[in-house]
Structure 1
């Protein structure tokens, strides 16, 4: 396959400026669409119960029914704050 080679009379400084200008334009375009990922916040059982103003047995029952999903590490139970906020539904 034959490629096209084009020689342009341009100084190294001009070439560098052109490359930097192109990179800057691409970065500005990327910034428009970039959404930084927020780290997930995990709440303990007590924090979750306090947030929802329920007791631990109610929280346990909701986890058993699948209403909310518990996550565990080293025998401790946590809940994702985003999931807790998403399961709340407006009443009609």
Structure 2
């Protein structure tokens, strides 16, 4: 008894069946996994204060005590929006 008879399908037909069933599923999984990344959104101090409804002095204190990280170019200070979102989620109450 050969392998072809045991399986009951010709190798060519088996390959076609595998392609038809596996490739669409793999494409769907890969496209969901590898979506284009959104560019990083940088906020100024005033934008962060407005977003969080805080005073500039509070933001300054949070930067100094390490609560919130910032980035600087020259005399400009920027905050990553994703870091702010993570900070809020990390400090969930209750």
TM over 0.5: yes
What SS does the corresponding residue of 1:61 show, helix, strand or coil?
helix
The list of structure 1 runs, each at least 4 consecutive aligned residues, that deviate by more than 2 angstroms after superposition, is 27-33
Q: Give ranges in structure 2 of 5+ residues lacking alignment.
A: 1-22
Aligned to 1:57: 57
More helix by share: 2
- TM score, norm. by length of structure 1: 0.65
- TM score, norm. by length of structure 2: 0.63
Q: Deviations over 1:2-61 (max 9, x none)?
A: xxxxxxxxxxxxxxxxxxxxxxx5x93642431221111000000001111111110000
Q: Give ranges in structure 1 of 5+ residues lacking alignment.
A: 1-24
User: Does the C-alpha gap of structure 1 residues 31 and 42 become closer, same or farther in structure 2, counting only changes over 3 Å?
Assistant: same
